[in-house]
């Protein structure tokens, strides 16, 4: 039986899905221009640093990047990107095999993208969703990334990643 198949991530049939509440589902939908992203942008902007957003021609399509200065920032949702030890990254209690595989793929993809950027000589920084709640500390963290030892050299080993 021919069906329309598109190259998109498969969503399991309803009976196999988690009994998540609507707000849990909404909280886990990936979208662009999320509040964590907007907060990160304004923190970087406040430092007078220029950047582009969702830079499609770089590995992993960084949320913020400057190709001339060779830095990239990812703003990662704690659930989708499995933030270690973070409450917001709590795993669904049912259908664990499905979620484990899916989140593990995200994690592996993140690592590959970040390594690819480093190989290109980029400084890479991850801003976690949970760390954007306090805008003052977010500004400090972002400033540390740009003002830290990494800014003195473009050596890929000198990263301020986390
Ligand atoms: Zn987190």
Q: Which residues lie near ion ligand 1 (Cβ < 5 Å)?
A: 78, 83, 86, 88, 128, 130
Task: Looking at the structure, give the CATH architecture of the domain made up of residues 32-149.
Answer: 3-Layer(aba) Sandwich (3.40)
Query: Could you tell me the pLDDT band of residue 94, with boundaries at 50, 70 and 90?
Result: confident
| Ligand 1 centroid from CA 75, angstroms | 11
Calculate what percentage of the chain has a pLDDT beyond 90: 63
Query: Could you tell me the pLDDT band of residue 80, with boundaries at 50, 70 and 90?
Result: very high
Highest average pLDDT, of 5-14, 31-40, 104-113, comes from 104-113
End-to-end C-alpha distance for the chain, whole angstroms? 49
pLDDT tens-digit map of 119-145: 999 999 999 999 999 999 999 999 999
| Ligand 1 centroid from CA 8, angstroms | 26
What separation in angstroms does the CA of 18 have from each of 12, 73, 91, 99, 136?
10, 31, 11, 9, 36
Query: Quick check: 91 pLDDT over 70?
Result: yes
| Ligand 1 centroid from CA 12, angstroms | 26
Q: What is the pLDDT of residue 60?
A: 97
Domain ranges of the chain: 32-149
């Amino acid at each position: 039986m021919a069906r329309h198949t598109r190259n998109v991530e498969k969503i399991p049939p309803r009976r196999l899905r988690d009994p998540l509440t609507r707000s849990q589902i909404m909280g886990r939908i990936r979208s662009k221009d999320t509040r964590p992203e907007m907060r990160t942008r304004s923190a970087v902007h406040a430092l007078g640093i220029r950047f582009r957003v969702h830079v499609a021609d770089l590995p992993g399509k960084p949320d913020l990047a400057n190709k001339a200065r060779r830095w990239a920032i990812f703003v990662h949702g704690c659930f989708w990107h499995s933030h270690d030890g973070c409450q917001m990254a709590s795993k669904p209690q049912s259908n664990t095999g499905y979620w484990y595989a899916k989140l593990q793929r995200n994690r592996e993809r993140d690592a590959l993208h970040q390594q690819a950027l480093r190989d290109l000589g980029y400084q890479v920084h991850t801003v976690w969703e949970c760390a954007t709640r306090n805008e003052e500390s977010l500004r400090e963290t972002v400033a540390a990334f740009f003002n830290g030892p990494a800014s003195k050299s473009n050596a890929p080993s000198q990263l301020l990643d986390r």
